[in-house]
Amino acid sequence: KFKHLIADTTAFINAVPLNDFAEKVYTVPDVVNEVKHKRQIRRLVVLPYDLQVKEPDSSSLSFVTSFAKKTGDFKSLSAIDLKVIALTYELEKQCVGTEHLRQEPVVSKVIASKDKPPEFEDKTLLAGFYVPHKHKNAEEEENEDENPAESKDQTCLDKVQDKEQKESLEACEDLEANVAKISISSEAEKDLPVVNKDDGENEGASDDEYLESEEDEGSDYSENSEDEDAWITPSNISKVKKSYTNGVAEDKPTIVACMSTDFAIQNVLKQINLNIAALDGRIIRNMRTYILRCYACFKTTSVMTKVFCPNCGHKTLKRVAVSLDENGQQVIHINSRRPLTSKFKNQSIPRPKGGKHSRNPILVEDQPIPKQMPSRVAKTKTNALNEDYTAGYSPFVVRDVDSKSALLRSKGNVKQWARNNDYEEARRRRTYNRLVK
The residues, ordered by sequence, that sit 6+ positions from 352 with a Cβ below 8 Å of its Cβ are 358, 360
Statement to judge: residues 93 and 145 lie in one domain: no
Q: Which pLDDT score, from 0 to 100, does residue 88 have?
A: 92
pTM above 0.85, yes or no: no
Q: Which pLDDT score, from 0 to 100, does residue 35 have?
A: 86
Q: Is residue 336 part of a domain?
A: no
Domain of residue 24, residue span: 2-105+251-284
- Of 245, 274, 307, the one marking the end of a domain is 245
Q: Which pLDDT score, from 0 to 100, does residue 83 have?
A: 92
Q: Is residue 132 part of a domain?
A: no
Q: Do 114 and 336 form a contact (C-beta atoms < 8 A)?
A: yes
d(CA 275, CA 5): 10
Q: What is the 3-state secondary structure (H, E, C) of the chain?
A: CEEEEEECHHHHHCCCCHHHCEEEEEECHHHHHHCCCHHHHHHHHCCCCCEEECCCCHHHHHHHHHHHHHHCCCCCCCHHHHHHHHHHHHHHHHHCCCCCCCCCCCCCEEEEECCCCHHHHCCCCCCCCCCCCCCCCHHHHHHHHHCHHHHHHHHHHHHHHHHHHHHHHHHHHHHHHHHHHHHHHHHHHHCCCCCCHHHHHHHHHHHHHHHHHHHHHHHHHHHHHCCHHHCCCCCCHHHHHHHHHCCCCCCCCCCEEEECCCHHHHHHHHHHCCCEECCCCCECCCEEEEEEEECCCCCEECCCCCCCCCCCCCCCEEEEEEEECCCCCEEEEECCCCCCCCCCCCCCCCCCCCCCCCCCCCCCCCCCCCCCCCCHHHHHHCCCCCCCCCCCCCCCCCCCCCCHHHHHCCCCCCCHHHHCCCEEECCCCCCEEECCC
Q: Which pLDDT score, from 0 to 100, does residue 340 have?
A: 82
Query: Smallest Cα–Cα separation from 307: which of 322, 296, 318?
Result: 318
d(CA 40, CA 29): 16
- Of 260, 284, 308, the one marking the end of a domain is 284
Q: Is residue 433 part of a domain?
A: no
Q: Is residue 424 part of a domain?
A: no
Statement to judge: residues 227 and 280 lie in one domain: no
Statement to judge: residues 81 and 37 lie in one domain: yes
Q: Is residue 188 part of a domain?
A: yes
* Degrees, nearest 5: CA angle 26-9-283: 65
Longest dimension (CA), the chain: 132
Q: What distances in angstroms separate CA 393 from CA 247, 328, 399, one per listed residue?
A: 69, 59, 11
Q: Which pLDDT score, from 0 to 100, does residue 301 have?
A: 85
Domain tally, the chain: 2
CATH number for 35: 3.40.50.1010
Q: Which pLDDT score, from 0 to 100, does residue 404 have?
A: 67
Q: Which pLDDT score, from 0 to 100, does residue 198 have?
A: 43
Statement to judge: residues 23 and 101 lie in one domain: yes
Which residues are paired to 334 by β-bridges?
113
Q: Which pLDDT score, from 0 to 100, does residue 413 have?
A: 44
d(CA 72, CA 293): 14
- Cα-Cα-Cα-Cα dihedral of 198, 201, 207, 213, to 10°? -80
The residues, ordered by sequence, that sit 6+ positions from 266 with a Cβ below 8 Å of its Cβ are 260, 276, 284, 287, 289
- Of 232, 262, 284, the one marking the end of a domain is 284
Q: Is residue 379 part of a domain?
A: no
Q: What is the 3-state secondary structure (H, E, C) of 171-195?
A: HHHHHHHHHHHHHHHHHHHHCCCCC
Q: Is residue 367 part of a domain?
A: no
Amino acid residing at 340 = L
Q: Is residue 407 part of a domain?
A: no
What residues are designated binding site for Zn(2+)? 294, 297, 309, 312
Statement to judge: residues 100 and 192 lie in one domain: no
Statement to judge: residues 191 and 268 lie in one domain: no
Statement to judge: residues 14 and 58 lie in one domain: yes
What residues are designated binding site? 294, 297, 309, 312
Statement to judge: residues 46 and 62 lie in one domain: yes
**N residues, the chain:** 437
Statement to judge: residues 240 and 164 lie in one domain: yes
Statement to judge: residues 226 and 150 lie in one domain: yes
Q: How far apart are the first and last CA of the chain?
A: 74
Statement to judge: residues 223 and 269 lie in one domain: no
Statement to judge: residues 91 and 145 lie in one domain: no
Per-residue pLDDT of the chain (437 residues; tens, 9 = 90+): 888 899 998 888 888 888 888 888 999 998 888 888 888 888 888 888 888 898 999 999 999 999 888 877 787 888 999 999 999 999 999 988 888 888 888 755 556 555 555 555 555 555 555 555 555 444 444 454 445 555 555 555 555 556 656 666 666 666 566 655 555 555 444 444 444 444 444 444 444 444 444 445 454 544 454 455 557 777 777 776 666 555 444 556 788 999 988 888 888 898 888 989 988 888 888 776 778 899 999 888 877 788 999 999 999 998 888 877 667 677 888 877 778 877 777 778 888 888 777 778 888 999 888 777 776 766 666 666 766 666 655 556 566 667 666 666 544 444 444 454 444 444 444 544 444 44
